[in-house]
Structure 1
Amino acid sequence: MLLVESRNANNQVDFKEAILHPNAKEGGLYTPLELPQFDGLKYADLNYKDFALELIKSFDFGSEELFEKALQSYENFDDKFCPIFLRKIDDKLFINELYHGPTRAFKDMALQPFGVLLREFSKDKKILIICATSGDTGPATLKSFENSKNIKVVCMYPQGGTSAIQALQMRALDRGNLKVFAIKGNFDDAQNTLKNLLIKAEFKEKLNQLGYELSAANSVNFGRILFQIIYHYYAAVKIGKGEEIDIIIPSGNFGNALGAYYAKKMGANIARIKIASNANNILTELFTKGEYDLRNKSLKKTISPAMDILVSSNIERLFFDKFGDKRTKELMLLLKNEKYFSLQKCELKALKEDFDADFCDDDLCMSFIKQNKILIDPHTATCFKFQDKNRTSIIASTAEWTKFTPSMVKALYDRECKDEKEDLLKISKQYNFEVKKELLALFDLENQVSRTYEMSEIENKILEWIKQ
């Protein structure tokens, strides 16, 4: 199967090319022209890795042995036989815990196997990966490519725009072939810088002179999306057993929700995909009103920082699947140039066939954390507004609560967090929860100085670092 550009379906590449060079010619994203059909119920009795391999084979990308090798990376998770944990809350509600990997976030589910693929595809090349993160992509990307011989990674994150633990996870990996930049700005600023560098001919030429090709590990890369389809389909099969279920997803850049949508189109027993936002409810407006309006809108900092995003990149792949390449290009250019677009009534109706959307402010989010019998992080908490006692639902839980201790303290005890490590241990003792030693060790980095960079500095700083 070839992948095509979302803004011009005549631009086609194979899977390897899309992984290595995700920056499409006209600024779009590589995506399947049509999704294959996959009978997940046929493989319901397989373990996760074997189920995943059968689903990937349905895309007919080839390289089956390589994909099998990539899936072995799940042996680094809490349970080497299954990287996810399906937790039953009641007869109608389940939580798909996706954070049992090395960095305690769902991004490991895609980035651990993705890292294997990219290392194999780049054996005869030198690759620079640049990623922008609102919290979880950064640590997961850095961990995936730690100590890689031919791959260097640059990670940008907004200073103060992630949790303290997420920032410490990145700083702990800031060495060798990995470089971390804390930037002045928000995630959208970091993501715009990433997109501009990916298409900037002068920057790529300078990298080429230094012997490097440019790639990306954000969900703009289809290699990320491929592995996100699997866990939604697998969970739907295991819980629904043929009956339709709803998937509830805390969403920022829309990659996780897109994975659920692709799973549904491929044949998964998914009825509704419910998009949970925080106070930056840009996706709620899109799916309820058919409008994407960035005019006079500024990013709000919330207790669910990974969702503090106004420009959700993977919406473009959804538009391509629903409306085609010409309309997708028109909408994305309107958003870039006018900061606004409005869908036609028939287009909004097409979105509503599969999606519902709502948002949850910090106060309501904290109330869900406090009411719950188990520990849930602030992103997962946004999903509980969607709970329907008459429908079987699966919440996609994207991060372990340990990464957001100050917010957990505020929610559980109605006070400010004065000593994050002390409060982390207090909560874990109260709930009989075992904190990973690697996480506790991060607090030794707290007093180290971390410089903050202007966005205009990043390009030259990357080149300077490559030359060292």
Structure 2
Amino acid sequence: MDYVSTRNKAARVTAAYAIANGIASDGGLYCPTGFPALAAEDWEALAGMDYKGRAACILGKFLTDFSAEELADYAAKAYADEKFGGADTAPVVALGGGRNMLELWHGPTCAFKDMALQMLPHLLTASLRKTGETRTACILVATSGDTGKAALDGFHDVQGTKIMVYYPVDGVSPMQKLQMVTQEGGNVEVVAIRGNFDDAQSAVKRIFTDEKTREELDRDGMMLSSANSINWGRLAPQIAYYVSAYCDMVKGGAVEMGEKINICVPTGNFGNILAAYIAKRMGLPVNKLICASNRNNVLTDFFKKGGAYDRNRDFYTTTSPSMDILISSNLERLLFFASDYDDKLVAELMDKLARGGSYQVAKDVFAKIDADFDAGCCDDRAAAETIRTLWETEHYLCDTHTAVAVRVYEDYRVRTGDETPVVIASTASPFKFCRSVIEALGGTLEKDDVTQLDVLTALTDTPAPSPLAALAGRPPRFERVVDKADILSTVSLLRDL
């Protein structure tokens, strides 16, 4: 299968090339030229596999320049039992009312980003070999909290790579910050910026399209790549867990094979729910994809206002910081798919976004999007209420981002009367956001954020994940803070790694 840029579909590249380079030179995002269909025999085979097998199978549909043996090997290593606490890599927990929680946070950094970022280093290093690339891959990552740590964990000390992560200095939780600034590895660098996630993301994209920077790195034997979901190798592994969840629901009797489900995803950059959309295009029986936003509800407005996207609005720092985003990069891919690969249209819309901060999707294109999606938003107060209610009624403990999705789904069900069984993506361990969860449950806060692990454990009789508990007392390695205007200059730090 070939890949094309959302802004120029004339030039076709291999999957390995798309993964190795991360983003197209024109600033567009690489997309597959089609959606491989899952036939009845595929579903039968998938139902009998474990998660590793399902992941390798789904990736094999898209990464046709990789062998089945390669992908099986990568999946076995990426989703090893010791990394995810057992063979049940992405368990589905059934709650009342047809709700099914897809827990994606059992990996080494306790967030759903592990589901892709434990796989990406294998895909990227193999892609470099397949394309004959001998330069060192310099991986730039903008993070709103979870991607940064997951990328650092996946790539630390991986031969032939260097990685630099940018995070908003006041826009992540204390636990997320501690995870990043204490990261081990000789090929890693972490930089805080005075700004928000959108500033970091825009700067990373600017670096990718800056010819002078690319030429200087090339002279030093380095090339740029990305571990954000703008990289197809980051997005593709996420498709697998929606397919896997459906298989588990069929095996558990929650649905019959072929029966439709809804999927509700808390999202900011739109990659996680886009993976569910792609799964639907492959044949996953989905009725509605429900996009859940926090107070930064630019995506909710996009869906509710007929395809009007406008980032010219107040930016809020919330208790669900990984969703504090106003420029949702992967929406570009959805526009490309929904417009039947109209690269000129997408390029025009992205130019309007870059220049004026807004655009309006044509009615015929939005009609296709509207048929698949619904949306809603939830503020911090409602998220806290949801955390408390879930604990009191179901004895189920969730984090702030998952709470946003649960609340948005409940509002959707009341509004529409739709009782279709739902998969709700649970994207992070509640222990990554201890302060907010403890407050929601009416507990007493302590001063030190790591201490909150013990407080939440005592409050709920739930053990803290060992990767988070191990952070106690670890000194920070990275304390650099820069203005957003100076991010381009930080690329020079890669030479010293």
Question: Which of these residues, 110, 125, 139, is aligned with residue 129 of structure 1?
Answer: 139
Other-structure match for 1:335? 353
Other-structure match for 1:320? 336
Q: Does 1:210 align with 2:220?
A: yes
Q: Which amino acid aligns with 1:358?
A: G
Q: Does 1:120 align with 2:126?
A: yes
Question: Which of these residues, 44, 67, 71, is aligned with residue 67 of structure 1?
Answer: 71
- Name whichever of 215-224 and 114-123 sits farther off: 114-123
Other-structure match for 1:293? 310
Once the two structures are superposed, the pairs formed by residues 66-145 of structure 1 within 5 Å of their partners are: 66-72=70-76, 73-75=78-80, 76-90=82-96, 92-122=98-128, 124-145=134-155
Asked if the contact 2:445–2:455 (Cα under 8 Å) also holds between the matched residues in 1, the reply is no
What's the CA shift for 1:205? 1.0
1:41 aligned counterpart, secondary structure: helix
1:271-323 residue CA offsets vs partner (Å, 9 max, x unmatched): 1100000000000011110211122x131100000000000000000000001
Q: Which amino acid aligns with 1:74?
A: Y
1:391-450 residue CA offsets vs partner (Å, 9 max, x unmatched): 200100110011101111221116655343333212213323222333123231468882
Once the two structures are superposed, the pairs formed by residues 302-451 of structure 1 within 5 Å of their partners are: 302-323=318-339, 324-372=342-390, 373-385=395-407, 386-387=409-410, 388=413, 390-413=419-442, 417-445=446-474, 450-451=479-480
Q: Does 1:58 align with 2:74?
A: no
Q: Percent identity?
A: 36
Aligned residue pairs total: 467
Cα separation, 2, equivalents of 1:87 and 1:146: 32
Other-structure match for 1:12? 12
Cα separation, 2, equivalents of 1:364 and 1:414: 17
Asked if the contact 1:110–1:228 (Cα under 8 Å) also holds between the matched residues in 2, the reply is yes
Q: Does 1:277 align with 2:293?
A: yes
- Name whichever of 402-411 and 387-396 sits farther off: 387-396
Asked if the contact 1:277–1:284 (Cα under 8 Å) also holds between the matched residues in 2, the reply is yes
Other-structure match for 2:49? 46
Other-structure match for 2:238? 228
1:25 aligned counterpart, secondary structure: coil
Cα separation, 2, equivalents of 1:423 and 1:439: 11
Cα separation, 1, equivalents of 2:142 and 2:97: 39
Cα separation, 1, equivalents of 2:443 and 2:382: 13
Q: Does 1:460 align with 2:460?
A: no
1:238-276 residue CA offsets vs partner (Å, 9 max, x unmatched): 223321000000001000000000000000011110000
Cα separation, 2, equivalents of 1:26 and 1:449: 32
- Name whichever of 413-422 and 139-148 sits farther off: 413-422
Asked if the contact 2:182–2:476 (Cα under 8 Å) also holds between the matched residues in 1, the reply is no
1:271 aligned counterpart, secondary structure: strand
Question: Cα 1:341–1:148, aligned 2, differ >3 Å: closer, same or farther?
Answer: same
Asked if the contact 1:96–1:394 (Cα under 8 Å) also holds between the matched residues in 2, the reply is yes
What's the CA shift for 1:452? 1.4
Question: Cα 1:60–1:170, aligned 2, differ >3 Å: closer, same or farther?
Answer: closer
What's the CA shift for 1:148? 1.4
Q: Does 1:253 align with 2:253?
A: no
Cα separation, 2, equivalents of 1:259 and 1:102: 21
Asked if the contact 1:38–1:55 (Cα under 8 Å) also holds between the matched residues in 2, the reply is no
Cα separation, 1, equivalents of 2:318 and 2:446: 16
Cα separation, 1, equivalents of 2:366 and 2:493: 47
- Name whichever of 114-123 and 267-276 sits farther off: 114-123
Cα separation, 1, equivalents of 2:102 and 2:493: 42
Q: Does 1:25 align with 2:35?
A: no
What's the CA shift for 1:60? 5.5
What's the CA shift for 1:62? 2.8
- Name whichever of 322-331 and 162-171 sits farther off: 322-331
Cα separation, 2, equivalents of 1:416 and 1:430: 11
Q: Which amino acid aligns with 1:274?
A: I
Other-structure match for 2:252? none
Cα separation, 2, equivalents of 1:370 and 1:173: 33
Question: Cα 1:392–1:451, aligned 2, differ >3 Å: closer, same or farther?
Answer: same
Question: Cα 1:331–1:210, aligned 2, differ >3 Å: closer, same or farther?
Answer: same
What's the CA shift for 1:138? 0.3
Once the two structures are superposed, the pairs formed by residues 178-197 of structure 1 within 5 Å of their partners are: 178-197=188-207
Q: Which amino acid aligns with 1:205?
A: E
- Name whichever of 23-32 and 58-67 sits farther off: 58-67
Q: Which amino acid aligns with 2:163?
A: V
Q: Which amino acid aligns with 1:28?
A: G
1:280 aligned counterpart, secondary structure: coil
Question: Cα 1:147–1:448, aligned 2, differ >3 Å: closer, same or farther?
Answer: closer
- Name whichever of 175-184 and 437-446 sits farther off: 437-446
What's the CA shift for 1:344? 2.7
Question: Cα 1:91–1:368, aligned 2, differ >3 Å: closer, same or farther?
Answer: closer
Q: Which amino acid aligns with 1:268?
A: L
Q: TM-score if structure 1 supplies the norm length?
A: 0.95
Cα separation, 1, equivalents of 2:243 and 2:478: 43
Q: Which amino acid aligns with 1:133?
A: T
1:317-351 residue CA offsets vs partner (Å, 9 max, x unmatched): 00000012222112111111121112233333221
Asked if the contact 2:35–2:278 (Cα under 8 Å) also holds between the matched residues in 1, the reply is yes
